[in-house]
Amino acid sequence: MRARLLAAAAFAAAAAPAAQGGWLFGGGSAAADVELSAEDVGKLAALEEELGAGGDDFGGRSEIRGVPERDADKYAGLRFSCDGGSRELAVEAVNDDFCDCNDGSDEPGTSACSMVNLASFFCANEGYKGLVLPTARVFDGICDCCDGSDEAPGKCPDTCQEDGASYRADMARLSKVREAGLAKKAEYIAQAQGIDEEMSETDERLKELARDLKGTQTELDEAQALVSRLEEEAAAARKLLQRKLRAKRVAALHLDTFTREQLELLLVDVVVEGGTPETLVTLVQEALDDPLTPRAAEVAVDGSIDPDAATARTAEWIYENDAQEVDLDLEDHYADAYAETLDDEDEDEDEGEGEGEGENDEDVDVEDLTNAKDAGRETDSTFSLETAKSRVRELERNVRRLEKEESKLKEKAPQDYGSQNQWYAIRDKCFSSTADKYKYEICMYKQAKQDKVNLGEWSGFLEGSNDRTFKFTKGQRCWNGPERSLTVHATCGPEERIIDVREPSTCEYVMTFTSPAAC
């Protein structure tokens, strides 16, 4: 039966004029304009399914009511076997309107075994397609078969010739669509030549990048940890230096000779008098009656004495106090005190702070000590810290470079493009359509949207769908509901087109989509 219908469809396809309007698609001399409706798409999907399954060639009507020609041998002879051979009946028990077999096969032409799910009735529908119905629909007053054989004689008109002619015209038209889709699919497959090797190379490179990125990130973490440790050590060194320099300033101003009460009074006086360095010097001089006390402006941040200011101040004092013995070696004293701070960190702090004036174990250039910021001595720890920071910057650049390359490769990372890589050609394309005031868009292997609402991210083909059903999942969550998702049922067509979109369940969308890749 199927063979006869396909032959008729082929004949009609050759004779039928081209339909007007619709999608324009190419196919050499077979090119034509074909207009497809949503109903056509459904018919085309059924045709694809029928051709893919090999069809059900029931043959014609047999002499037994409700039995196709292919099963007629089961009812031949004087005895009839049912229930898997466990029961035998006289052939007269067939279609006697009494259900004798558990499988209902003894009543193919009546509704006596309608309670049995497997019980079926076949109508030949000569001129159209044979049809199998549950026996519950036999003699129910509704004409299911175009030849009317499911009801009492004369109840239903025979419309099979008209239905068959319409079916064959549809098949002729849709066969052209299918042929065009298959031709386009062949082009898609050709575009994907060598993609398996390319995807394999990409996969290997991604694995290599992952290893490099992990190793580089580990190095970066270690370098950052080293920088943190060195910064802590540098901070501790600065703190130690600050403590020593503060002690030197105290000694330079002779504040270490003050009692607690004197220091408290001095602090109040400094605040009251305006708190300037000159005020502090004046008040200290008054308290000590010591003209040799250097002015605060002469004491550098490292505790040393500004050479010019100190020399002028010392000369002034000698002129006024030539009878007094004085130690003119102040510069060496403060140079020596600063040099001590550059010694080993493990040296006892109290011992370092308590050394007397006049000791000069190391020859230090006074000019290097006038400003601690420009001391000119770069320690090993400082050099190591700068080196470590430079290494961190270098590793950060390497990480960014590797991540950028990885991101680009992931965009074309190995994907399931179908059994023949037929979906590869449209892997980076988007298709949209407007329905019910909403714009729906699907971007292959990326994302689906309803206007600006995310319906889901690509999650692949459904198993067992023959590369024709794919999903987008984990979309924007509905208010008080689930995450949105979209299931796309693709069917054969000459081009990519969204046919319709439905929402059978809350926030779960279903789309019908045509593509040559589905042919």
**How far apart are alpha carbons 292 and 266 in whole angstroms?**
18
| Residue 496: per-residue pLDDT | 95
In this predicted structure, the answer to whether residue 160 has a pLDDT above a threshold of 50 is yes
In this predicted structure, the answer to whether residue 33 has a pLDDT above a threshold of 60 is no
**How far apart are alpha carbons 233 and 213 in whole angstroms?**
30
- Return the SS3 of 24: strand
Mean pLDDT score, 115-126: 92
In this predicted structure, the answer to whether residue 101 has a pLDDT above a threshold of 70 is yes
> pTM of the entire structure?
0.49
In this predicted structure, the answer to whether residue 508 has a pLDDT above a threshold of 80 is yes
- The tokens for 36 are 């497809």
Query: Cβ of 447: how many Cβ atoms within 10 Å?
Result: 17
| Residue 325: per-residue pLDDT | 35
| Residue 105: per-residue pLDDT | 94
**What's the start-to-end Cα distance of the chain, in Å?**
24
> 445, 449, 442: which is closest to 425 by C-alpha?
445
pLDDT in tens, 375-390: 334 444 555 888 888 8
pLDDT tier at 57, thresholds 50, 70, 90: low
pLDDT in tens, 454-481: 999 999 999 988 899 999 999 999 988 8
**Range of lowest pLDDT (150-164, 196-210, 304-318, 415-429):** 304-318
Q: What residues have CB less than 8 Å from 466, skipping those under 6 apart?
A: 52
Domains, the chain, in order of start with CATH, read 69-157 (no CATH), 194-291+381-414 (no CATH), 424-518 (2.70.130.10)
- What are the two backbone dihedrals, phi and then psi, of residue 509, each rounded to the nearest 5 degrees? -100, 150
Tell how strand 131-134 and strand 32-34 pair up: unpaired
**How far apart are alpha carbons 105 and 101 in whole angstroms?**
7
**How far apart are alpha carbons 286 and 362 in whole angstroms?**
35
Mean pLDDT score, 304-322: 42
| Residue 144: per-residue pLDDT | 94
DSSP codes, 462-519: PTTSTT-EEEEEE-PBPTTS-B-EEEEEEEE-SS-EEEEEEEEETTEEEEEEEEGGG-
| Residue 379: per-residue pLDDT | 46
In this predicted structure, the answer to whether residue 24 has a pLDDT above a threshold of 90 is no
**Range of lowest pLDDT (43-47, 223-227, 371-375):** 371-375
In this predicted structure, the answer to whether residue 122 has a pLDDT above a threshold of 80 is yes
| Residue 407: per-residue pLDDT | 80
In this predicted structure, the answer to whether residue 26 has a pLDDT above a threshold of 80 is no
| Residue 294: per-residue pLDDT | 45
